[in-house]
Chain A
Amino acid sequence: MLQFREINTEEYDVIKEQLISSLKFRDFERIITPFKIIVAEGNWKEILFVSDRMFKTFQDFKDFRNPYFMGFNFGDIAKGKFKISLEGITFISEYIEEKTILSSSGEKKVLYGRNLTKKDLRSFPSQIQKNDMSILINEDQEVLALGKYLVDKEEIENLEGNQIILKNIMDKGWYLRKGK
């Protein structure tokens, strides 16, 4: 049974620090201004963003029935680590300037859940180090996925076109593969 409650300071700091370290995203305080952050705690902790009005309504009925979910899921905390969700990366994408732009073949591959090669990338951020996360978008600037670079930027220049350089962490093809 999930228990719904407001986020505590420790959880808040885990999210904030993880966003900085993995995505170099430092504006967490700014983007959450309109929301209350709720933790739905079960085997892991779901991080949910809800409006004040939703939260007040929840307070009215919480003694009678537990929600299945509410608001939108920004990510999960499991074993002390925060993992952003597909909705979460879409939400923060407009605040992140440097993203990886995929070619049309890269778009198809990533939505099938596959990893990407150099030739699937149209452009990439100016600074890349091995294990850096990057939001993957198509040529229409639409958010498709989150990937992790397997090499440094200097190495990319010297690689063959068909070598995997970007690991697919999550992608919106999930909605079709698993979410139906």
Chain B
Amino acid sequence: MDIDELCSRFGYRRYMIERYLELFGEERILNFLEGNEQKLIPSIKVNTLKISQETLYEKLTNKGFQLEVNPFIPDAFYVYKEPFSIGATTEYLLGYYYIQGVASMIPSILLNASPSDIVVDMCAAPGGKTIQLAQSMNNEGVLFALDLSRDRMKSLRSNLARCGIKNVIAIRMDAVNLTQLKIRGISKILLDAPCSGSGLIPSDPTRKMSRNYEDVEICSTKQMELMTAALNTLETGGELVYSTCSIEPEENEYILDAALQQFGVEIIDLGLNIGEPGYTSAFGRTLAPALEKARRFYPYLHNTEGFFVCKLRKVE
């Protein structure tokens, strides 16, 4: 397969095509690249703290929106037709839903937080996953939402207020310093790590050219720092969900593999009927067999953004 031709036809940097050819093989790379050219169907998650799925469906369809229940995610809709922006309805302003990619809805569900938990959302802004966690906790318990960016913190606050979230303690800080807080009894952690965003190409094609391999390496270093902080803080028996919107193994399986080697953790079966298994080897590196329990999502297979998710339990 001619790499230069693929670069030219799909508009990617050469290093990306070389890597994807190795990951997907000649038989799947065209499907993958063509999948990234397809527009994803917008999706929304119902805020069940404020409204039922049925009532929201009725309200939005009465306004001309065409919705379809997502078969895999509870309380989520695909939005097939928008007479006006789905982000500008009265129902949106009332906090009845938030706009979120389907794959991004999965990590909070997998964490299965409850009101008795102390939960940390390490990279929380703009807050879609935090709102989901608060829903799962019935707006009770304690949910820490951390983020470093001042602007993104403002968005987080606005989104939480709009959706009526009451159980969040938000702290503007770099989550790599989580241990400094000395919070006791953290039972659940969501680490939706900052990443190179290669899974977001369908919604942001500029990422085909705006990133280089150094960005992957920088993200990978940061992700390992975040993972280390998380696992140093999580109580024994506690659970952590790790996710990114990157499809690069260095930002996903490599991080989990290192965590398995350095900490007393085990990978938990996600119990998902969708998604591809995680890699147990990539780019010549053999990884822990348990990584097949992780899940990968691709636009061409799952009609979602490219995404990775894995769940760990701290055992010692």
| A residues with CB within 8 A of B | 49, 51, 53-54, 57-58, 60-61, 64-73, 85-87, 90, 107, 111, 138, 142-144, 172-173, 175-176, 178-180
Contact = CB atoms under 8 A, between A and B. Distances in A.
Nearest to B151: A180
Interface string B149-177: 00001110111011011111111110000
A30 B183 CA distance: 32
B182 A173 contact: no
Contacts, number: 88
Interface in B169-224: 169-173, 180-184
B271 to A, nearest CB: 30
A138 B63 CA distance: 15
B292 interface: no
Contacts of B181: 61, 64-65
B158 A179 contact: yes
9 contacts: A61-B181, A64-B180, A65-B171, A65-B173, A70-B168, A87-B161, A175-B93, A175-B158, A179-B154
B90 A107 contact: yes
Contact of B182 (A60, A71, A107, A142): A60
A51 B158 CA distance: 20
Contacts of A58: 169
B168 to A, nearest CB: 7
B88 interface: yes
B140 interface: yes
Given A53-B141, A64-B180, 20 more contacts: A54-B142, A57-B169, A60-B182, A61-B183, A65-B180, A68-B172, A70-B170, A71-B166, A72-B161, A87-B161, A107-B90, A111-B90, A111-B93, A142-B90, A143-B94, A144-B94, A172-B94, A176-B88, A179-B161, A180-B155
